Structure 1
Amino acid sequence: MLRNPDGRDSDRSAAGSFGAFVADARDAGQLVVQPRMGFQDPWRMRRGLLATKAARCVTVGTITIDSYTRVGDLAAAREAVLSNRDLNGYPIVVHPERTTHAVLDGVSDQTFPVQVRHGSAEPQRIVAAMLRCGLTATEGGPVSYCLPYSRIPIRQSVRNWSRACRMLVEAAEKANSVHNARPHLETFGGCMLGQLCPPELLVAISVLEGMFFRQHGLRSISLSYAQQTHSDQDDEAVRALRRLAAELLPQVDWHIVIYTYMGMFPRTSVGAGKLLDNAARLAVRTRSERLIVKTRSEAHRIPTVEENVDALERAAAVAAIEPRIGRAKAVWGDTACTQVETGIYDCARRLIEAVCGLDDDLGRALVRAFQLGILDVPFCLHPDNARRSRSYLDADGRLQWSDVGAMPIPIDRNARAEYDLTSSDLLAALSYVQRTFDR
């Protein structure tokens, strides 16, 4: 049981809720750290969860689902399991329910909630399988798990995610007061494509998906933001995300989750470690409650259990000393963080208001927004994306717009001609963080 800052035991974790556990850690002044871990073999998956639970920091567990299950190719997932062939995650729909119960037995409890992570635009079977196994926390969203990972229409993804939300809410209602009953859903909207998406669009989609979840009955939500290319810009973006969540998600228990950089990771151990350190500092400076870590082997292969634990403990150690070196300053290359505002909040608010003005039903509004280009993700090839927006890295390494298409946000019109990216420019931008930290 975690303790509140005044020393009293908190009883929120007694509800067995993922969100309540994170809130308890926040009240105790601790950052929750979490791996992106998933293994095909059940006993290796169990070992990974146990090692995460035993790490010398405040952790939550992860079961990451394999690619076949994410896209609904259960026959391929089943064949891999029968032939004992490695997958890049845990096939929760294919494994018998009793197997997953055995994986979780003595592991998932009030002191160690477990989240299912998947990447599916068709999440219903995954959600059904996890609920049968007593798991009530997952992540995704109708936009963020459709555009990067799927070719299905956004309209269909909205229907799928509406159903998934209802499944989570109905399961909680049936369970009533049973422990572990309260569902938690994290939006992946702040991680669109992992890189080269300017922060105002990441913030807007994260909040819009959170509002979508709330409209479908969820009351425990987390909002994501992926570390990008410039520390000052990230600070401002997360402050904007927190402010908008406070304004637009009333009567919802929410927290912020930071993702360690999702793009091309440094190849050197030193560079990868420093990038993780900066993610931990970002989480502390912005009062974010949870951090998804990446390991020093990220650029080369799927990390081992031990490498994941090392990353968890390193991030927690950096977070623990960050307040001592000042919440308003952290190193990013040669840049120090400031509190300068460049308009991320205002631009994100404009996007959110434009989408909400299209329809009272947020699902229909999101579909319409992409049809009109009011939401337009740069470099995203999904058929429902307008593909008129473009971004670039300026001389300081900040993400900027060179073309916003029909999105209702201001832009320096001179940037269109000056920053018309070539293929070599795009490759240089994609590898910017890797090269910066490997130096």
Structure 2
Amino acid sequence: MSLANKKLDWNQFLEIRREVLKAWPTGQEVDLAEAIQYQSRIPAQRRFAEKMEEAKKERITLAQPRAGVALVHEHSELLQYLADQGEADLLPTTIDSYTRQNRYNEAQVGIEESRSVGRSMLNGFPAVNHGVTACRQVVESVKLPLQVRHGTPDARLLAEITLAGGFTAYEGGGISYNIPYAKEVPLERSIRDWQYVDRLVGYYEEQGVSINREPFGPLTGTLVPPCISHSIAIVEALLAAEQGVKSLTLGYGQCGNLLQDVAAVRSLEELAGEYLSRFGYNNAVITTVFHQWMGGFPQDESKAFGVIGWGAATAVLAKATKVIVKTPHEALGIPTKEANAAGIRTTKQVLNMLKDQPLVESKELMEEKDLIKAETRAILEKILEFGEGDVAQGIIRAFQAGTIDVPFAPSRFNAGRLLPARDHQGAVRLLDFGNLPFGEEIKEIHREKIVQRGKTEGRDPSFQMVVDDIYAIGKGMLVGKPR
């Protein structure tokens, strides 16, 4: 069967599903009809889609951390702490690395070791191994909406178990959870597997249960130009909408320049609405998520709080619907619950102070927004051209051609030719365009800004700028200027 952006036939879905549920014994716990009944009893205040739609109407920004440990009781306690002491608006369940790679036997070993030593020996919550009943224990232990956050190219069994377990939001996509995460997984396979996930979510929607879906916006997390993450987010939104998904939260990772980041968040929502409407998906609710800086952090906690505060300020001024919060231990490893809560409280303080302060519109902001839109449209139109109107086929061919290219991604199905660097004001530009389908007018804007930085710093633009920029924030700066 050739890949196409076409809603999966239900009988075909059920045939695939029988094999998916056999991948681990807990798959046999999933009763779809009973799961829908369980989900339908979850009150609105604990449902992700409703909470996001309400925040969008009120034009406020909600705060959500990342968090996950190996055992059920300890994970529940962690989430309760982040809700009560961290004042989070929304809660996550970050899935462990073994589960992300479908290595459930090794995840089980991690569970047993965690029980033996009395602390988590996994870097997340192994939901597949714990199963439906355990997931419901976690869901029922808190009063806030819960989302599954992971990084899995094949997330079908995880989706079955966690949705049956009462989670009301699910992150990821066939591109955003493949290209930045895996080396050898073909895009055709991961897109097909995520069509299954979205068809499952669409089925819940058909039964009156809305599950929020969120493509992973930051991708590789460092110096990703807005047009790249926008293009992938919108393509994944189109793929999800075709399968019946109605609640879509599209993401963007902070680059650091306030003007560019605000323009990016605002343009993302507008472009997504434009393309979803163009293909007839007019009943989807589009919200946005802003990820605080995903690159290297300062080791000093006080400096780390400065990075967190800057991310919070940018999110609220951009009017993102949600912000994903980092912790002051980012440079050190998995944070303590106290550090995680401190990052949320720092973010909430800034959100509350700035929520009623609109950013003054400026000519420069509009120009940046127009530039991002022009770049993103150029990529999307080329994808559609490659696929002869079908985004699923188009994205496969576009990656093969390098028309869409994610910087620093490990996947061998990604060209890896794109080379981003900051301009002298810290906005992310392109030092090497790879094979992006930009006209000379767009390219000249990037060249001029990179050259201007070179003159300011007294050096020729080169790969060294890229290296300097990658480490700059960890060293206390935004632009990697030579000392």
Mean Cα deviation higher: 90-99 or 287-296: 90-99
SS for the counterpart of 1:400 is strand
Q: What is the identity percentage for the equivalent residue pairs of Structure 1 and Structure 2?
A: 28
**Unmatched tracts of structure 2, length 5 or more:** 1-41, 115-119, 277-281, 455-459
**Is the CA contact (8 Å cut-off) linking 1:272 and 1:437 kept in structure 2?**
no
Q: CA deviation at 1:323?
A: 4.5
**Is the CA contact (8 Å cut-off) linking 2:226 and 2:372 kept in structure 1?**
yes
Counterpart selection for 2:312 from 258, 274, 280: 280
1:223 aligns with 250
**Is the CA contact (8 Å cut-off) linking 1:267 and 1:438 kept in structure 2?**
no
2:273 aligns with 246
Mean Cα deviation higher: 336-345 or 246-255: 336-345
Q: CA deviation at 1:430?
A: 0.9
Q: CA deviation at 1:144?
A: 1.0
**Is the CA contact (8 Å cut-off) linking 2:260 and 2:427 kept in structure 1?**
yes
2:469 aligns with 429
**Is the CA contact (8 Å cut-off) linking 1:31 and 1:316 kept in structure 2?**
no
SS for the counterpart of 1:341 is helix
For the pair 1:351 / 2:386, whether they are aligned, the reply is no
How far apart in 1 are the matches of 2:108 and 2:78? 22
1:90 aligns with 125
1:7 aligns with none
Q: CA deviation at 1:340?
A: 4.8
CA RMSD in angstroms comes to 2.6
Q: Partner amino acid for 2:240? A: F
1:54 aligns with 84
What are the within-5 Å matches in structure 2 for residues 111-122 of structure 1? 112-122=144-154
Describe the shift of the 1:209–1:304 C-alpha distance in structure 2 as closer, same or farther (beyond 3 A). Answer: same
Counterpart selection for 2:160 from 118, 122, 128: 128
**Is the CA contact (8 Å cut-off) linking 1:223 and 1:257 kept in structure 2?**
yes
Question: Which whole-Å deviations, capped at 9, do the CAs of 1:269-312 have from their partners, x for residues lacking one?
Answer: 22211111111111211111101000111111211222222222
Q: CA deviation at 1:378?
A: 2.4
2:192 aligns with 159
Q: CA deviation at 1:167?
A: 1.8
Q: Partner amino acid for 1:393? A: R
Q: Partner amino acid for 2:391? A: L
How far apart in 2 are the matches of 1:164 and 1:133? 15
For the pair 1:395 / 2:424, whether they are aligned, the reply is yes
How far apart in 2 are the matches of 1:25 and 1:37? 22
Q: CA deviation at 1:426?
A: 3.7
For the pair 1:186 / 2:229, whether they are aligned, the reply is no
Describe the shift of the 1:125–1:49 C-alpha distance in structure 2 as closer, same or farther (beyond 3 A). Answer: same
What are the within-5 Å matches in structure 2 for residues 29-428 of structure 1? 29-55=59-85, 57=87, 59-84=89-114, 86-107=121-142, 112-151=144-183, 152-173=185-206, 176-177=207-208, 181-188=209-216, 190-249=217-276, 250-323=282-355, 327-328=359-360, 339-342=365-368, 343-359=371-387, 360-409=389-438, 410-412=442-444, 418-422=460-464, 425-428=465-468
SS for the counterpart of 1:262 is coil
**Is the CA contact (8 Å cut-off) linking 1:63 and 1:90 kept in structure 2?**
yes
How far apart in 2 are the matches of 1:212 and 1:279? 29
How far apart in 1 are the matches of 2:266 and 2:139? 36
How far apart in 1 are the matches of 2:236 and 2:323? 19
SS for the counterpart of 1:402 is strand
Describe the shift of the 1:161–1:267 C-alpha distance in structure 2 as closer, same or farther (beyond 3 A). Answer: same
Question: Which whole-Å deviations, capped at 9, do the CAs of 1:40-80 have from their partners, x for residues lacking one?
Answer: 12112101221233257461110000000001111110111
Mean Cα deviation higher: 145-154 or 247-256: 247-256
How far apart in 2 are the matches of 1:230 and 1:214? 32
**Is the CA contact (8 Å cut-off) linking 1:275 and 1:437 kept in structure 2?**
no
Describe the shift of the 1:300–1:317 C-alpha distance in structure 2 as closer, same or farther (beyond 3 A). Answer: same
Q: Partner amino acid for 2:196? A: R
Q: Partner amino acid for 1:25? A: A
2:49 aligns with 19
How far apart in 1 are the matches of 2:249 and 2:182? 23
How far apart in 1 are the matches of 2:363 and 2:349? 20
Question: Which whole-Å deviations, capped at 9, do the CAs of 1:18-50 have from their partners, x for residues lacking one?
Answer: 121122234345321101111112112101221
Describe the shift of the 1:200–1:438 C-alpha distance in structure 2 as closer, same or farther (beyond 3 A). Answer: closer
**Is the CA contact (8 Å cut-off) linking 1:139 and 1:187 kept in structure 2?**
yes
Q: CA deviation at 1:382?
A: 1.5
Question: Which whole-Å deviations, capped at 9, do the CAs of 1:154-212 have from their partners, x for residues lacking one?
Answer: 11111111111112222444xx24xxx21111011x31210122122122222221122
Q: Partner amino acid for 1:399? A: V
Q: Partner amino acid for 1:97? A: V
How far apart in 2 are the matches of 1:380 and 1:339? 29
Higher helix share: 2
Mean Cα deviation higher: 203-212 or 87-96: 203-212
Q: Partner amino acid for 2:222? A: Q
How far apart in 1 are the matches of 2:415 and 2:97? 27
Q: CA deviation at 1:130?
A: 0.3
How far apart in 1 are the matches of 2:470 and 2:130? 37
How far apart in 2 are the matches of 1:316 and 1:32? 8
**Unmatched tracts of structure 1, length 5 or more:** 1-11, 330-335
Describe the shift of the 1:437–1:326 C-alpha distance in structure 2 as closer, same or farther (beyond 3 A). Answer: farther
SS for the counterpart of 1:383 is coil
SS for the counterpart of 1:142 is coil
**Is the CA contact (8 Å cut-off) linking 1:165 and 1:213 kept in structure 2?**
yes
Q: CA deviation at 1:346?
A: 0.9
